[in-house]
Amino acid sequence: MDVPVLAALADLVLPRTCAGCGVPGAMLCPRCAPLLAAPRLAEPRRFPAGFPPTVAAGAYAGPVRPAINAFKEQGRAELAAPLGAALALAVAAVRLGAGAPSRPPVVLVPVPTSPAAVRARGRDHVRELTARAIAELRAAGVPATGCRALRRRGRIRDSAALSASQRRANLAGTFALDARRRPAGALLVLVDDVVTTGATLTEAASVLAAGLPPGGFPVLAAVVAATPRSPGAPRADPVRTRRYRAGNVLRQDLDRLSRPRGKD
Ligand SMILES: [Zn+2]
């Protein structure tokens, strides 16, 4: 029996607790859910060159960390609903910043998880999040599709103990563009669960952008949560974001989207 089925069965017999703080009741309690409804630009500690404009639905800190971990590593697949809603919010926000006059359809490109990680977990949690986010966006009237345009190639070392530059070197050549699935004529948004150093998104964005015609929209990215910027760290290089209107991210016309919330 696979992990999601076990989790679903456990829900039938065990009282549900908030995945963020552990209080009994909703899967994300009314205190924790709003932490994933606060879109902001992700600002890694050191911006890797080529880091795409990235919006996170919340900070990867406090109760958000155990909530994402419960979904990713502990089989609480039902969290795809609130976390997918959070990802949809981040996609909608990053799309606003692109300032596209005609609001082109948005194509969500999941950052591929390694086959070994998918085998170990028994599921592909980023694909689950992507599917849920697409459904949320469509329900809100945002034309959205998914495209698995990237695939993994080769093996990479576990990056947990590596510095940002070591991660970048470790990741070089990790992703390949699947020519049969190359999306065209749309706003491409890489999607992932979490951004920390930004190395993975940077590498994925460079591979994706290399397959696009020049002069189009830049590749964007959206994640459920981003490591918060440490106080005093330098802000984003303005040249880096020249083609991206960061101020638009905070425009509050995201109201059509449902916000992450605990559902029973
Ligand atoms: Zn909570």
Alpha-carbon distance of 257 to 86, in angstroms, equals: 9
Q: How confident is the model at residue 264 (pLDDT cuts 50, 70, 90)?
A: very low
Position 209 in a domain: yes
Cα 81 to ligand 1 centroid, rounded to whole Å: 15
Nearby residues for ligand 1 (ion, Cβ within 5 Å): 18, 20-21, 29, 32
Task: Quote the pLDDT of residue 84.
Answer: 96
Determine the structural domain holding residue 133 and report its residue range: 3-229
* CA 26 / ligand 1 centre spacing (Å): 8
Q: What is the mean pLDDT of residues 237-261?
A: 55
In a domain, 207, yes or no: yes
Q: How far does the centroid of ligand 1 lie from the alpha carbon of residue 207, in Å?
A: 38
pLDDT at 256 over 50: yes
Average confidence (pLDDT) over 92-105? 78
Residue 212: the pLDDT is: 79
Q: Find the 23 Cα to ligand 1 centroid distance in Å.
A: 6
Q: Tell me the pLDDT band of 82, cut-offs 50, 70 and 90.
A: very high
How far apart are the CA of 218 and the centre of ligand 1, in A? 36
How far does residue 30's CA lie from ligand 1's centre (Å)?
7
CA distances from 182 to 32, 186, 208, 260, 264 (A): 38, 11, 9, 31, 39
* 88-92, 139-143, 212-216, range with greatest mean pLDDT: 88-92
Task: Tell me whether residue 126 is in a domain.
Answer: yes
Domain count, the chain: 1
- Residue 238: pLDDT over 50: no
**Structural domain contains residue 236:** no
CA dist 62 and 76 (Å) reads: 18
**For the residues 238-255, what does the mean pLDDT come to?**
51
Q: Would residue 25 be called left, alpha or beta, if left means φ above 0 and alpha means ψ between -120 and 50 degrees?
A: left
> Confidence class of residue 239 from pLDDT cuts 50, 70 and 90?
very low
Task: Check residue 251 and give its pLDDT.
Answer: 47
Distance 255 CA to ligand 1 centre (A): 23
pLDDT per residue as tens digits for the range 171-217: 777 899 887 776 766 899 999 999 998 999 999 999 999 877 777 78
pLDDT reported for residue 219: 92
Asked whether residue 76 is domain-assigned, the answer is yes
Contact indicator for 55, 90 with CB cutoff of 8 Å: yes
- Looking at the domain assignment, is residue 219 inside a domain? yes
- How far does the centroid of ligand 1 lie from the alpha carbon of residue 62, in Å? 10
CA of 84 to the centre of ligand 1 (A): 17
Residue 57 lies in a domain: yes
Does residue 235 lie in a domain region?
Answer: no
CA of 132 to the centre of ligand 1 (A): 21
